[in-house]
Amino acid sequence: MSTIPDVEPRGYHCKVRYKCTTRTYTYTFRKIVVCDTPSAAGAGSYLAVAIATSRILAVARGGDRSWTALKNHRGLFVGYDDAIMHKGKIFAVDVRGNVFSWDLPATSSCPDPQRMPPAPGATYGESVYQWNLAESADGRLLLVTCTHGSYAEHEKPGRDSTKTVYRFHGDGVRLHELDIDSAAADSDGDGWRRVTGLGGRALFLGANWPLWTNLGRGPPGQVVQPNCVYVAPAALFGYTDEDFDVVVHDLGDGSCWQINVSAVDRDIVFVIPIWFTPTLQMWSRRAS
């Protein structure tokens, strides 16, 4: 973290100085996404994208000894919610749903960010839980998702007392897709198209790289179902006063429910789920 300008590490926290304020404290990393580069060849051919405080986005290639902070757009007034690499560019979405992009080949020279067409978000009266970015299953389109719902106070019992936390109840997840190759001609946002179905796939979003899975419709009660979006918290750190569930939205019938992952009856640190695909590797022992 000390390689990023204006960041001074302090244990698990860091002190960040902004031009418009004196100073503020926040967690060191909110999220780190590791992805292959378009020209990936051999060991070390990867790129790490880090959301390191609310308004710092940094990248590092395999073998780099330091982070490179990306230049913020002049229209950025809030922090980033998610970041991803798509078609050789870095894309990031802020907490208001604004999408920005940086040309990856020019990251070493601090490229100027480009603002993408505004993405549709929550409607009047809805609260946005978080924004996520992903690629379509075939890698051709950029996806933006808006998880919306409401917050409510919840009394959580601890060892010696109870404390008030805020639990989010999801009402749904909206998905829109954009062809970035033609987005330059759609400055009014008409380039975004609503995604109404995922077919036999499920999409998993959270603090990791977006994960697609092909599967068939299982019996009632099976946790993982096709044509569904599973949204977990996108930040690894920084939610000390919130209680979490995974939000699941079925694009087929429009239903939305929660998967409980929080320790409701114990006062312990929150567990942030990470999605991954298990790999079975067979080993054979040579007879001696």
Structural domains of the chain, ranges and CATH numbers in brackets: 29-115 (2.40.10), 117-277 (no CATH)
Task: Give CA–CA dist 83/241, Å, rounded.
Answer: 24
Average pLDDT over residues 150-161: 76
* Single pTM value for the model: 0.81
Q: What are phi and psi of 108, to 5 degrees?
A: -70, -20
Model confidence at 4: pLDDT above 70: yes
How does residue 146 score in pLDDT terms, banded at 50, 70 and 90? Answer: very high
Q: Are 211 and 201 in contact (CB under 8 A)?
A: no
pLDDT of residue 117: 82
Of 15-29, 117-131, 164-178, 268-282, least confident by mean pLDDT is 15-29
- pLDDT-derived band at 243 (thresholds 50, 70, 90) equals low
Tokens representing 156?
A: 């959580």
Q: What percent of the chain has pLDDT over 90?
A: 23
- With pLDDT > 70 as the criterion, what percentage of the chain qualifies? 71
* Half-sphere exposure of residue 83: CA atoms within 13 angstroms, side-chain side: 27
Mean pLDDT for the stretch of residues 154-177: 80
pLDDT-derived band at 275 (thresholds 50, 70, 90) equals confident
Q: Is the pLDDT of residue 188 over 60?
A: no
What is d(CA 34, CA 84) in angstroms, rounded to the nearest whole number? 9
Higher pLDDT among residues 88 and 99, named by residue:
99
The reported pLDDT for the residue numbered 161 is: 74
Lowest mean pLDDT among 124-128, 140-144, 184-188, 280-284: 184-188
Q: What is the pLDDT of residue 198?
A: 95
Amino acid at residue number 1: M
Q: Which residue has the higher pLDDT, 39 or 14?
A: 14
Question: Which residue did the predictor score with more confidence, 266 or 282?
Answer: 282
Give long-range contacts, CB 8 A cutoff, 24+ apart: 258-261: 258/169, 258/170, 259/223, 259/230, 261/232
What is the structure's pLDDT at 14? 61
3-state helix, strand, coil in the chain (%, to 5): 5, 40, 55
pLDDT at residue number 58: 86
Higher-confidence residue of 213 and 22: namely 213
CA distance linking residue 192 with residue 118, whole number of Å = 8
pLDDT band with cut points at 50, 70 and 90 for residue 72: confident
Q: Which amino acid is at 163?
A: K
DSSP letter string over 197-261? Answer: --TTEEEEESSSS-EEEE-----TT-S--TTEEEE--S-SS--TTEE-EEEEEETTT--EEEEE-
User: Cα separation of 219 and 235, whole Å?
Assistant: 32
Going by C-alpha positions, the residue among 183, 55, 196 that lies closest to residue 119 is 183
203 or 264: which leads in pLDDT: 203
What whole-number distance in Å separates Cα of residue 194 and Cα of residue 178? 9
Q: What is the pLDDT of residues 98-138, one digit of tens each?
A: 899 998 764 456 778 888 887 887 666 678 888 999 999 99
Rounded to whole angstroms, the Cα distance separating 51 from 273 reads 18
Cα-only R_g, the chain: 20
